[in-house]
Amino acid sequence: MLRYSLRRLATALPTLLAVITLSFFMMRIAPGGPFDQERALDPVIRANMEAAYHLDLPLWHQYLIYLGNLLRGDLGPSFTMPEFTVAELFAAGLPVSVQLGGWALVLALLIGGGLGIAAALRQNGWIDVAVVAVATAGSTIPTFVVAPVFQLVFGLSLMWLPVGGWQDGAARNMVGPVVCLMLPQLAVVARLMRGSMIEALRAHHIRTARAMGLSGWSVVGRHALRSAMLPVVSYAGPAAAALLTGSVVVETIFSVPGVGRYFVDAALNRDYTVVMGAVVVVAVFTIVFNLIVDLLYAIIDPRVRYA
Amino acid sequence: MSILQDPPLIEVRNLSVHFATPEGDTQAVRDVSFAVHAGETVAIVGESGSGKSQSMMAAMGLLPGNARVTGEIAFKGRNLLTLPRRALRELRGAELAMIFQEPMTSLDPLYRIGDQLIEPIRRHSRLSAHDARARALEMLGLVRLPEPERMMRSYPHELSGGQRQRVMIAMALTNDPALLIADEPTTALDVTIQAEILALMADLQKRLGMGMVFISHDLNMVRHIADRVCVMRAGEVVEHGPVAQIFEAPQHPYTRALIDADPKGHKPPAPTNAPVLLHARDVTVTFGTAPHQVQAVRGLSLDLRAGETVGIVGESGSGKSTFARALLRLNQSEGEIRFDGVPISTLTRAQMRPYRAQMQVVFQDPFGALSPRMTAGQIVTEGLLVHRPDLTRAARDAMAAQALTEVQLNPEFRNRYIHEFSGGQRQRIAIARALILKPRLLVLDEPTSALDRMVQAQVVDLLRDLQARHQLTYLFISHDLAVVRAMADRVMVMKSGELVEEGPCAQVLHAPRAAYTKRLIAAAFDTQAMAPA
């Protein structure tokens, strides 16, 4: 399994390179540049700035310089926030996003998974109906509706929680963003878990386990849950990559200094280096979590063999 | 019979099972009563839908949630139907054990055999982990599995169907149950494996002295293992008595029909001077790429004359279906194949098309081989869209009606969807679909295997009748020697991709030369051979 993992990571490098290359050139095809503003810059200043950032060189040369810097771990300076390098921006923002996304992910899996199991065990009972209703609401009501309502109720009316802000990651400040990030994921996890658990409980080997007099906990928790987990695991991989790399909506509404807002701001401002930094971060997270999913699969299901 | 004087181990009284379905209440079991004594084997025999499994699932508390059970099932003086769930769980797997029909799916694919055996041992006893492991090993030896230590570490997918069923038996017997319920434990297995498992169960039942309920659709199979037999039909017990009485003096016409359910008669011989319709030389089929190559068929030859039926017999994995598919050019093969003198092995897909109508195929599974989204009429006429594009819709419809009449189905059924038909009716539709193209060669790949015994006999009659009427040539693939005997002029016996024996049907079945053929025949016809030595 270790060899498999190493080989998978090695084959991930060409994927990463392809993603970086595509993003680099696609971004440059888009019209406009980092120094295009409503008021035209003085041409001399503009030329100086472009020279400072190598923007005057041919595109292929810029690409090679970027790759060379990337290999040394240098993601370059931000164009629109010249006082920071891209690495500094992510070093400051990523822990915030990872904390929020991590909590949201763990809670979505635990609560969503639990609700899904409960619904499956009492199919068409009141718990099931309630879970399906919550899951439907969770995946249909957009976060930009849920988040302001949350602020209104818990921040302004009840005054239990701050309306926004980070305060170095105080627990009180994290509740709102975590809940809003979690709800849509929880809804998907609950639905997936319910479906796969109902399927798993119908399996013949579950009938065997019951016929052997095993306790309900053993039948459900040991035998049914293990196979029911597989679809949830495959969903959780990409979902984790998306959650941990921040959300522009939640971070903006709750004024949280994560990295989610960089994606949108940088793209709009043609802040080339920040966009590329974001691409690299998301690609790495996605590759790593997909690998984790594959390894979990092999652990859960012995029929999956990685030769 | 002294055992009859003791109080019964389990006594079923006036058992009824209803299922609440969206279409209303249906009754699966009606007022069934019988008893099993310690050390006795009672067989419950019936066709699919007779309620034979449901009555024992009720005893185990394993019926689905929409079932309603009335009556009484007394086990050692306690009514299983009113027992609290917890108390029932204490009995299940300890005093009451059950094994099932589906050996391939009855074990949890995600846990090692050892873990699955140890779990119920520790659930019902106070053995330490070490002693439970020793007990599991002992049980694997008892069911005669080779290398028990290695078995303990294996996962179910690494075992064959027969081995998995042995594991199931080991698991069921591990806590010395007083009653073992076996629900068609051999149905999904090859005939030689069936015989081994039956012998093993009969032997263990004697040695351990438990009571056994043996559920089967095959009355002849239970003859040598059952003390008493209950014959069920449509949820009711139609006849109940000692095994000798059931076989020697059956009272109910249904029992007589079941005993007599083997397909009868023989095919009238084909003229020996008929031209060769299908000629094959040294056909070899190889799957996979080196170094993982498997030769599924190794150098087989065949000459099939017009009007003749050749039966290909073999167990699962013998390559019999692969060979037939190669002859139809449905998979790649080496060697020479001629159809009506034309070398079809080198034809392109387009060149092959006109011959496709002349060589049709009927598959084993009438449930999977027909699209659930098409009506019977659409299914039957689909081939005409390809091969007879000149026909109008009305002409096609008329031909569908005619084809259904031909297979003895009501032509008005052509507007119904597949789920409204029984297994036997579906197989008739599959045959009609093949016949409508007026083929000369029909490949029948286990066409009766998924059907109840009495329906099998009807389909065999139909196929013989159609053959005579339309001068058809059959290639008949089956693992079931009784059906082959009634259908074929000549028989080829296959094992591991090779020909074991070949010859006229009567000769191969009555005077087999190869040891393997003898074993197959013994397992299929001479049920005495199943009794333990």
What CA–CA distance (Å, rounded) separates B42 from B56?
Answer: 12
CB of A211 less than 8 A from some CB of B: yes
Q: What is the pLDDT of residue B528?
A: 44
Q: Which residue of A has its CA nearest to B57?
A: A211
Amino acid at B276: V
User: pLDDT tens across A188-243, in order?
Assistant: 999 999 999 999 999 999 999 999 999 888 999 999 999 999 999 999 999 999 99
CB of B108 less than 8 A from some CB of A: yes
Residue B218's nearest CA partner among B17, B518, B485, B449 is: B449
**What tokens does B23 get?**
């279409």
Average pLDDT over residues B176-200: 87
Torsion-angle region of residue B288: left (phi > 0), alpha (psi -120 to 50) or beta? left
User: pLDDT tens across B240-296, in order?
Assistant: 999 999 999 999 999 998 888 778 888 888 888 889 999 999 999 998 777 778 888
- Return all residues near B501 (Cβ < 8 A) that are at least 6 apart: B491, B492, B493, B508, B512, B513, B514, B516, B517
Contact A211 B62 (CB under 8 A): yes
Quick one: what percent of chain B has pLDDT higher than 90? 58
Q: What is the pLDDT of residue B271?
A: 81
ipTM of the complex: 0.81
Average pLDDT over residues B518-523: 85
Q: Is A33 helix (H, G, I), strand (E, B) or coil?
A: coil
Above 50 in pLDDT, residue B531? Answer: no
Contact A229/B134 with Cβ under 8 angstroms?
Answer: no
pLDDT confidence band for B2 (50 / 70 / 90) = very low
What CA–CA distance (Å, rounded) separates B93 from B109?
Answer: 20
Select the residue from B110, B124, B171 to test the A interface by mutation, using most A Cβ atoms within 10 A.
Answer: B110
Q: What is the pLDDT of residue A38?
A: 67
CB contacts of B179 in chain A (<8 Å) are none
User: pLDDT tens across B125-146, in order?
Assistant: 989 999 999 999 999 998 888 8
CB of B75 less than 8 A from some CB of A: no
pLDDT confidence band for B442 (50 / 70 / 90) = very high
Residue B138's nearest CA partner among B103, B104, B176 is: B176
> In degrees to the nearest 10, what's the CA dihedral of B103, B106, B108, B114?
-60
Q: Which residue of A has its CA nearest to B98?
A: A211
Encode B47-64: b = buried (16+ Cβ within 10 Å), e = exposed: beebbbbbbbbbbbbbbe
pLDDT confidence band for A306 (50 / 70 / 90) = low
Contact A205 B109 (CB under 8 A): yes
Residue A273's nearest CA partner among A110, A36, A34, A26 is: A34
Q: What is the pLDDT of residue A151?
A: 93
Average pLDDT, chain A: 89
Q: What is the pLDDT of residue B1?
A: 45
B159/chain A closest Cα distance in angstroms: 12
Q: What is the pLDDT of residue B533?
A: 33
Average pLDDT over residues B389-414: 91
CB of A196 less than 8 A from some CB of B: no
Average pLDDT over residues B162-189: 90
Edge-to-edge strand ranges of the sheet holding B24-36: B24-36, B10-21, B67-75, B78-79
Q: What SS3 string covers B345-369? A: HHCCHHHHHHHHCCEEEECCCCCCC
Q: Is A215 helix (H, G, I), strand (E, B) or coil?
A: coil
B206/chain A closest Cα distance in angstroms: 22
Q: What is the pLDDT of residue B5?
A: 63
pLDDT confidence band for B529 (50 / 70 / 90) = very low
pLDDT confidence band for B366 (50 / 70 / 90) = confident
CB of B168 less than 8 A from some CB of A: yes
Q: Is B240 helix (H, G, I), strand (E, B) or coil?
A: strand
Q: How far, CA to CA in Å, does B227 sit from each of A6, B212, B224, B326?
A: 62, 10, 8, 47
Q: B34: how many CB neighbours lie within 10 A of its CB? A: 20
Average pLDDT over residues B457-463: 90
User: pLDDT tens across A10-61, in order?
Assistant: 888 898 999 999 999 998 888 877 777 767 778 888 888 888 888 888 889 9
Q: Which residue of B has its CA nearest to A208?
A: B106
φ, ψ for residue B119, nearest 5 deg: -55, -55
Q: How far, CA to CA in Å, does A173 sit from each of A99, A151, A169, A256, B386?
A: 12, 11, 7, 9, 68
Q: What is the pLDDT of residue A41?
A: 76
Above 50 in pLDDT, residue B532? Answer: no
Q: Which residue of B has its CA nearest to A303?
A: B157
Average pLDDT, chain B: 89
Select the residue from B63, B89, B121 to test the A interface by mutation, using most A Cβ atoms within 10 A.
Answer: B89
Q: What is the pTM of this model?
A: 0.81
pLDDT confidence band for A6 (50 / 70 / 90) = confident
Nearest to B62 among A210, A300, A303 (CB): A210
Torsion-angle region of residue B31: left (phi > 0), alpha (psi -120 to 50) or beta? left
User: pLDDT tens across B303-331, in order?
Assistant: 999 999 999 998 888 889 899 999 999 98
Q: What is the pLDDT of residue B526?
A: 61
CB of A172 less than 8 A from some CB of B: no
Quick one: what percent of chain B has pLDDT higher than 70? 98
Nearest to A226 among B93, B110, B168 (CB): B110
